[in-house]
């Protein structure tokens, strides 16, 4: 078959790109190697920046988010046994974030795509990308024992860190930047009311903890743990006990425990691939960059990549203009590195590092104390947390 854009990956970035192209009447197809149930079964973050929520509204899938999402106007930082609130709303001139699970974003986009009658191939095997160094690339895959080929003008690689898109780029054409952190996050999802109506980030001598939520009745909690830990060695009781040890007295009183729905350990890394365009192939989202989840930037960065890419493709097909696709990588990376910096800094500030010792703990506490008492420092945290404008730094 022939189409204008072949999108590899049916996660939120691929589906959102498809929705934006559909709105502009640009022909495209989505190709995904996993099943829909597998895609929806991925447990991911749930803090959406204003830019991301605006995009979901733009493509007409914001109704359930408005009804079920939880607007947050602040976050709490816990250190030395006390909590301190960062007023996101007040410090940024009225901005906020929306707590709404990535799984729900994916479900909304998936349902909309079905309602629109748009093509998506799930369970595609042996996906391969060809001739994207020219103007006539193609994508090949097997489905139900039959080989298929999609001829297109552009390929959008939205298939994640382990996907085929970045792996298809010749090694000499890409530069990779990576930092691996010496710990992971042990996360538990449970049907219990959240500890607080806002997220609580905890810096303690026992390590980092995060009290998050998906709804008023479902909570997501994390504790920092060694990379050598195994999920099967953490019972629910052991997790709740350790989380309680990292909270303040009020938090311990308010903590409601219950059986875990899902439990996993995620390693933390910072990663960027440069550039993000290779002829007719564009990388977007986790295919091009990874951030530690401390700053809640992963899905939001993917959404802004997609915004830049959709705008560039629409200009190309509707106006025969190539400026957008020519500057796509540069524009994305300028924003990505700012988010990478914030996520790295926030991770450094809140976690216990094996080689930092008591001195490192005292320095973190001093910086946190400065942060909450300095209007300028608090404002910097707030504006980065809610997300920088799409045109930030543009002259």
Catalytic residue numbers? 72, 201, 293, 297, 385
Query: 335: which 2 tokens?
Result: 């924003």
State which H helix or E strand residue 105 sits in: helix 102-116
**DSSP-based three-state secondary structure for 107:** helix
Nearest CA-CA partner of 300 in 88, 111, 55:
55
Summarize the chain as % helix, strand, coil (round to 5): 40, 25, 35
Are 281 and 134 in contact, with CB atoms under 8 Å apart?
Answer: no
Query: 261: which 2 tokens?
Result: 């729905």
Nearest CA-CA partner of 291 in 277, 282, 301, 283:
301
Half-sphere exposure (CA, 13 Å, Cβ side) for 34? 15
Are 32 and 127 in contact, with CB atoms under 8 Å apart?
Answer: no
* CA dist., res. 130 & res. 138, Å (int): 5
- 264 bridge partner residues: 187
> For the chain, how far is it from start to end, CA to CA, in angstroms?
42
219-225 vs 209-213, strand pairing mode: antiparallel
The pair phi, psi for residue 172, each rounded to 5°, is -75, -10
Cα separation values, 355 from 182, 247, 350, 351, Å: 10, 23, 15, 12
Contacts of 19 (CB under 8 A, 6+ apart): 59, 60, 61, 109, 112, 113
* CA dist., res. 239 & res. 232, Å (int): 11
């Amino acid at each position: 078959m022939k189409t204008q854009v072949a999108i590899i990956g049916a996660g939120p970035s691929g589906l959102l790109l498809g929705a934006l192209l559909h709105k502009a009447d640009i022909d495209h197809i989505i190709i995904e190697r996993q099943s829909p149930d597998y895609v929806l079964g991925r447990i991911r973050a749930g803090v959406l920046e204003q830019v991301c929520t605006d995009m979901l509204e733009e493509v007409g899938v914001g109704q359930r988010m408005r009804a079920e999402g939880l607007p947050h106007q602040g976050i709490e930082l816990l250190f030395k046994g006390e909590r301190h609130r960062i007023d996101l709303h007040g410090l940024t001139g009225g901005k906020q974030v929306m707590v709404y699970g990535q799984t729900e974003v994916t479900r909304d986009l998936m349902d909309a795509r079905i309602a629109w009658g748009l093509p998506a191939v799930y369970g595609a095997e042996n996906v391969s990308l060809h001739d994207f160094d020219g103007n006539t690339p193609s994508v090949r895959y097997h489905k139900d024992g039959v080989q298929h080929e999609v001829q297109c003008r552009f390929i959008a690689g939205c298939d994640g860190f382990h996907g085929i898109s970045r792996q298809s780029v010749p090694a000499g054409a890409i530069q990779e930047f990576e930092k691996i952190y010496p710990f992971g996050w042990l996360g538990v999802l449970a049907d219990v009311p959240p500890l607080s109506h806002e997220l609580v980030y905890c810096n303690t001598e026992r390590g980092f903890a995060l009290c998050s939520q998906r709804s008023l009745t479902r909570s997501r909690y994390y504790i920092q743990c060694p990379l050598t830990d195994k999920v099967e060695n953490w019972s629910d009781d052991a997790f709740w006990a350790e989380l309680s040890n990292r909270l303040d007295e009020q938090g311990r009183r308010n903590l409601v425990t219950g059986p875990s729905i899902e439990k996993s350990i995620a390693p933390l890394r910072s990663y960027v691939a440069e550039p993000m365009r290779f002829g007719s192939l564009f990388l977007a989202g986790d295919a091009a960059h990874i951030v530690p989840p401390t700053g809640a930037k992963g899905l939001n960065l993917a959404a802004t990549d997609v915004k830049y890419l959709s705008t560039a493709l629409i200009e190309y097909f509707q106006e025969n203009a190539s400026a957008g696709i020519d500057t796509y990588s540069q524009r994305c990376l300028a924003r990505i590195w700012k988010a990478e910096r914030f996520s790295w800094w926030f991770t450094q500030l809140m976690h216990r590092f094996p080689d930092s010792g008591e001195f490192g703990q005292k320095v973190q506490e001093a910086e946190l104390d400065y942060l909450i008492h300095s209007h300028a420092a608090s404002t910097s945290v707030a504006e980065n947390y809610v997300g920088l404008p799409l045109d930030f730094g543009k002259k």
